[in-house]
Amino acid sequence: MTIVYGRPLRRRTAVAVAAVVAAAAVGLTWSAGQLDLSIGELVRGLPWIGGFLRRMWPPHWGFAAGLVRPVLETVQLALWGTLLSLLLAMPLCMFGARNVSPHPALFHLTRQFFNALRGINEVIFALLFVSAVGLGPFAGVLALSVHGAGMLGRFFSDALEDADPGPIEALRATGAHPLQVLVFGLLPQVFPTWIAATLYRLEVNLRAATILGMVGAGGIGFELYGSLKLFQYQDTVVCVIVILAMVMATDFMSTRLRARILER
Amino acid sequence: MILVKALSKRFGDLLALDDVDLRVGAGEVVVVLGPSGAGKSTLLRCINRLTQPSSGEVFIGGERIPDTRSELRRIRSHLGMIFQDHNLVERMSVVKNVLTGRLAFMPLVSSLFQVFPRKDIDFALACLKRVDLEDRAWTRADRLSGGQQQRVGIARALAQRPRAILADEPVASLDPASARLILDDLRRAAHELGIAVVCNLHQVEYAREFADRIVGMRRGRVVFEGAVPDLDEAALALIYPGPAGARSVGPA
């Protein structure tokens, strides 16, 4: 007895799959050429990488003393960036949720706005804001806030759309004011998701804040970039270790906190 | 108390409500019987305008249900509704769920900041006492059993000091013991407080036990109306076409 799992590919499907695979192969090969992908080049470069790593050793631990202030600034950047994006996203998400938005046009507009903010990387925003408000952490805060507002706005709107319509209808039926329906019927349903998304955003912002310094927008990235430019690789490695420790500590705490909030 | 005149609702090609008239007095429990899709839910939802009727009029206590939004809210504030899935806000405490029945009577801004007048809290607790759940007031709603949650749903409706309550299949997803408890609560509240109750059911036996009057619906039309003893085999055949054995056990 023959057992057939699933249905056999029909000829048209088979031809389509073959065409997609062939097109992908051609496209990727061409791209590899454009990108100068070369294993030989990598192998030839290995000694250089080795030398680079050797020159990092031993770490110049004394450099860490000067990193206290930049580390603090990085954390402050992440906190303020997250706070401001939260404050921007909370009102905006109401217009970006199909079930809350006062008008379909406003819904689409808000969603596109979120997409635009999300589509542009923090570093690019940082470059823009550096030229607007000058070098320094304020530009970084603005960059994180604006990009994060798009991210959180999208998350928040999705959570609103996923809310159970039943309690909302029940509240409308009691004659409650639309704002009361929002506060009592909708927000209790989405708060855990919102808080978890914000905490996750804090993790991401901390990682982003470590590189904003490279474009002069504050944080520990400035020290990292500076030590690289001055060929002080023993300082660089200290920066990298400090960044790793900071990011891992935040991820560890935030992940546990998020799990606890979501299980409630 | 509730007066429905020539109410119709059309969804595309489907005439969900076809020229329905209904009158429910204060303190009277009217059970609407009918198979799934007969238009029972649409009838209730057209009464409090969760669904906009195509034509016809509804009066509550002699007052015509208006079309403007703020006026509609005022009328709704005296119209309780009980849902099949209770529709509580599960993350909120039981008493806060009941308090949502009083939102329309509270100052807007302070209510948004979760500040509730003392008298409203006391009344919410009194409503919980009526359904015998005052000791669970500060529990989160999703910690209660299905039957208890539905009784909180009743308390929420009672907290509105309603002139009428619309109950849409309130016991469809409950075991018989809880179902009887809930219908009993509802009936007692109606009789003691003079509330007009329209209750959709699909179980004939519950209708016989708890109704003061029965209305039978089929395909959007009222096909039977009468007291409990009038609901005989002939009446049931009008409401539920098909083999007689299939009648008393309606679909869940």
Domain segments of chain A: what residues? 54-263
- Residue B177: partners with Cβ closer than 8 Å, 6 or more residues away: B147
Asked whether residue B248 carries a pLDDT value surpassing 80, the answer given is no
Give the containing element (helix H, strand E) for B76: helix B69-76
Query: Residues of B with CB below 8 A from A167's CB?
Result: 87-90
> What is the token pair recorded at A250?
């935040």
Q: What CATH class does A54-263 carry?
A: mainly alpha
Residue A8, pLDDT score: 64
Alpha helices by DSSP H, listed for A35-67, are 39-55
Mutate which of B98, B103, B163 to test chain A, going by most A C-beta atoms within 10 A?
B103
User: For residue range B152-184, what is the model confidence (pLDDT) as tens digits?
Assistant: 999 999 999 999 999 999 998 889 999 999 999
Yes or no: say if A91 and A100 are a contact pair by the CB < 8 Å rule.
Answer: no
| Cα separation, B222 vs B206, whole angstroms | 19
- pTM recorded for the entire structure: 0.81
- Where on the phi/psi map is residue B51: left (φ > 0), alpha (ψ -120 to 50), or beta? beta
Nearest chain A CA: its distance from B77 CA (Å): 4
Nearest chain B CA: its distance from A254 CA (Å): 23
B111 band by pLDDT with thresholds 50, 70 and 90: very high
> What is the token pair recorded at A69?
């202030």
Q: Region B107-125: what's the mean pLDDT?
A: 94
Mutate which of A164, A169, A171, A174 to test chain B, going by most B C-beta atoms within 10 A?
A174
Q: What CATH class does B1-70+203-252 carry?
A: alpha beta
Query: Residues of B with CB below 8 A from A188's CB?
Result: 89, 91-92
| Cα separation, B54 vs B34, whole angstroms | 21
- Where on the phi/psi map is residue B62: left (φ > 0), alpha (ψ -120 to 50), or beta? left
> What is the token pair recorded at B113?
């900041």
Q: What is the ipTM of this complex?
A: 0.90
Burial (CB count <10 Å: 0-12, 13-18, 19+), residue B250:
middle
- Nearest beta carbon to residue A188 from set B78, B89, B101: B89
Asked whether residue B244 carries a pLDDT value surpassing 60, the answer given is no
Yes or no: say if B27 and B190 are a contact pair by the CB < 8 Å rule.
Answer: yes
Asked whether residue B75 carries a pLDDT value surpassing 80, the answer given is yes
| Phi, psi dihedral angles at B173 (to 5 degrees) | -110, 30
**β-bridge partners, B80:** B165
- Nearest beta carbon to residue A188 from set B74, B76, B92: B92
> What is the token pair recorded at A110?
């808000």
Yes or no: say if B33 and B239 are a contact pair by the CB < 8 Å rule.
Answer: yes
Nearest chain B CA: its distance from A111 CA (Å): 27
User: For residue range A9-63, what is the model confidence (pLDDT) as tens digits?
Assistant: 678 888 999 999 999 999 999 999 889 888 888 889 888 888 888 888 888 888 8
B79–A173 CB contact, under 8 Å: yes
Average pLDDT for chain B: 91
User: For residue range B178-226, what is the model confidence (pLDDT) as tens digits?
Assistant: 999 999 999 999 999 999 999 999 889 999 999 999 999 999 999 999 9
Chain centre distance of CA A81: 12
User: For residue range B5-31, what is the model confidence (pLDDT) as tens digits?
Assistant: 999 999 988 899 999 999 999 999 999
- Cα dihedral sign for B203, B204, B209, B212? positive
